[in-house]
């Protein structure tokens, strides 16, 4: 038996709507001795992401649901504590799908596990702006949005982990970038810190009018993060030839029956100018993982990409932080500091 004691957050039961505290359980779980080719990792940072909510449902998706009693899925930054692998040394920092837990054991050929090529940016950025959410922004915008100089690009959940990067990349491509976010504080940040041209507060009560005013030439690219009423307002303003990377639709993730939801595809089809739109998953470009991570890390180091984080501390706090993120309580990339080095 290992000398380390692991605590993990498991799915106790499937939520009905917003996840409640008793949908989760924190368990002590034994850690086995390492077999040849395995590493023992201590989690330093846990990434919390909206996709984890649909995984709690028992429904078909691009990824299998989390089983009842199973550890909540999640990507982490960790440090190798013990190694029986020639590929990893004690002290190596890695990103891996370790789950919501303090320690984990992985074979050294585990899928989507990478050694961090450190460049001096904060470690947790490899979960955010230089990590999965940064790559999501990069691939969705460049591969599906296909930005051109002068395009009007609208981004929802604009202050968030993905949205904040999309807008800054859009500016690099010469687009006019309009954010949509919840509340004046988030909108102020999106314009003043992230450099968007304008930001519409969808909670202010005049979404359609405010968006129309911010986009006098219509919308060429809409980066979809939220769905629902925001997408309905965008759909009326799309130009002929517009493109919509459908990244996610977080406003519906807590709905009790996702099969009854009007999806972004359904809403966009009602537009006077239906766009070229498709749902994508960032792993479609997995072979570009390393080069894109390095590119994003360099932009962060050079001050060309900025971001904000909401940080919870300790494994217990992962649950309220996750619940809050699904209703917009986070401000920027939601992380949990599991252990300081």
Closer residue to ligand NDP in complex, CB, 186/243: 186
Shortest distance in whole angstroms from residue 166 CB to ligand NDP: 9
Shortest CB 227 distance to ligand NDP, Å: 8
- Interior/surface letters 25-42, b for 16+ CB within 10 angstroms, e for the rest: eeeeeebeebeeebbbbb
Q: How far is the CB of 300 from ligand NDP (least distance, A)?
A: 16
Name the residue with the smallest CB distance to ligand NDP: 160
What minimum distance in Å lies between the beta carbon of 45 and ligand NDP?
Answer: 15
Nearer to ligand NDP, 147 or 245 (CB): 245
Minimum distance of ligand NDP from residue 247's CB (angstroms)? 4
Report d(CA 238, CA 219) in Å as an integer.
5
Contact positions vs ligand NDP (CB under 6 A): 49-51, 133, 136, 157, 159-163, 181-182, 186, 225-226, 230, 247-251, 280-282, 325, 327-328, 330, 333
Q: Which is nearer to ligand NDP, 74 or 98 (CB)?
A: 74
| Secondary structure string (H, E, C) spanning the chain | CCCCCEEEEEECCCCCCCCCHHHEEEEEECCCCCCCCEEEEEEEEEECCCCHHHHCCCCCCCCCCCCCCCECCCCEEEEEEEECCCCCCCCCEEEECCCCECEEEEECCCCCCEECCCCCCCHHHHCCCCCHHHHHHHHHHHHHHCCCCCCEEEEECCCCHHHHHHHHHHHHCCCEEEEEECCHHHHHHHHHCCCCCEEEECCCCCHHHHHHHHCCCCEEEEEECCCHHHHHHHHCCEEEEEEEEECCCHHHCCCCCHHHCCCHHHHHCCCCCCCEEEECCHHHHHHHHHHHHHHHHHHHHCCCCCCCEEEEECHHHHHHHHHHHCCCCCCCEEEEECCCC
Rounded CA separation 36/88 (Å):
12
Residue 65 DSSP code: P
Whole-number minimum distance, CB 333 to ligand NDP, in Å? 6
Report in angstroms how near the CB of residue 92 gets to ligand NDP at its nearest: 25
CB 230 within 8 A of CB 207: yes
Per the structure block, which two tokens stand in for 47?
């990434």
Judged by beta carbon, residue 66 or residue 85, the one nearer ligand NDP is 66
Q: Between residues 82 and 210, which has the closer beta carbon with respect to ligand NDP?
A: 210
Query: Measured from the CB atom, is 305 or 325 closer to ligand NDP?
Result: 325
Report in angstroms how near the CB of residue 140 gets to ligand NDP at its nearest: 7
Q: Minimum distance between the CB of residue 182 and ligand NDP, rounded to whole angstroms?
A: 3
* Shorter beta-carbon distance to ligand NDP: residue 181 or 319: 181
Nearer Cβ to ligand NDP (116/127):
127
Q: Which is nearer to ligand NDP, 6 or 57 (CB)?
A: 57
């Amino acid at each position: 038996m290992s000398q380390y004691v692991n605590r993990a957050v498991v799915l106790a039961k499937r939520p009905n709507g917003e996840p409640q505290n008793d949908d989760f359980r924190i368990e002590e779980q034994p850690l086995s001795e390492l077999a040849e080719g395995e590493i023992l990792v201590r989690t330093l940072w846990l990434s919390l992401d909206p996709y984890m909510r649909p995984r709690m449902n028992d429904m078909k998706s691009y990824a299998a649901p989390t089983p009842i009693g199973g550890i909540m899925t999640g990507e982490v930054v960790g440090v190798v504590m013990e190694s029986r692998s020639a590929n990893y040394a004690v002290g190596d920092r890695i990103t891996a799908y370790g789950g919501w837990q303090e320690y984990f054991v992985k074979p050294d050929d585990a899928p989507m596990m990478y050694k961090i090529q450190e460049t001096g940016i904060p470690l947790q950025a490899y979960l955010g702006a230089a990590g999965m959410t940064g790559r999501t922004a990069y691939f969705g915008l460049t591969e599906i949005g296909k930005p051109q100089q002068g395009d009007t690009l609208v981004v929802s959940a604009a202050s968030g982990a993905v949205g904040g990067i999309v807008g800054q990349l859009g500016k690099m491509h010469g687009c006019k970038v309009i954010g949509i976010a919840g509340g004046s504080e988030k909108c102020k940040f999106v314009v003043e810190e992230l450099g968007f041209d304008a930001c519409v507060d969808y909670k202010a009560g005049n979404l359609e009018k405010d968006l129309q005013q911010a986009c006098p030439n219509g919308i060429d690219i809409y980066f979809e993060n939220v769905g629902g009423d925001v997408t309905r307002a965008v759909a009326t303003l799309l130009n002929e030839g517009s493109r919509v990377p459908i990244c996610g639709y977080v406003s519906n993730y807590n709905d009790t029956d996702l099969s009854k939801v009007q999806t972004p595809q359904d809403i966009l089809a009602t537009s006077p100018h239906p766009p070229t739109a498709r749902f994508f998953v960032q792993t479609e470009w997995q072979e570009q993982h390393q080069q894109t991570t390095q590119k994003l890390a360099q932009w962060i180091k050079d001050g060309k990409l900025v971001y904000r984080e909401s940080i919870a501390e300790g494994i217990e706090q992962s649950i309220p932080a996750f619940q809050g993120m699904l209703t917009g309580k986070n401000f920027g990339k939601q992380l949990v500091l599991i252990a300081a080095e």
